[in-house]
Amino acid sequence: MSAIDVQNIGPGQKLELYVSPECPYCAEALAFYRSKGTPHVVHDAQNDGNVRRRMFAYSGGDPTVPVIVVDGVYVQSGWGRPPKG
C-alpha cells in the first residue's frame, strides 16, 4: 500500500492520471479531483501509444486504469477503496 493517500493530494504536489476515456472509474477519479479543486494532468492512455507505454513503465505493465502518479512516483492503478478499474 502506498504512503500517499490518493484522495488527499497535498498542495504543490503534481498529480497525473493515465486514463481511458470510456472508463467509469477514471470518470469517478476525474470528477473527484475536479470537485476538490485538485490540479491534475490527464493522459489518454487508450488513444496515444506513447502515453500508454509511459503508463506501463509506471505501473509495471498493469493495464488497469486510472493509473495515479504523484510527483513522478507511481501510487496505484484503479480508483476507490479498494481500487477498482
Structural domains present in the chain: 15-77 (3.40.30.10)
- pTM as predicted: 0.93
Q: Give the mean pLDDT of 57-80.
A: 96
The contacts found for 8-15 with CB under 8 angstroms, 24 or more apart, are 9/33, 9/38, 9/70, 13/70, 13/71, 14/41, 14/70, 14/71, 14/72, 15/39, 15/40, 15/41, 15/68, 15/69, 15/70
Q: What whole-number distance in Å separates Cα of residue 49 and Cα of residue 57?
A: 12
pLDDT in tens, 11-47: 899 999 999 999 999 999 999 999 999 999 999 999 9
pLDDT in tens, 4-16: 899 999 889 999 9
The residue type of 60 is G
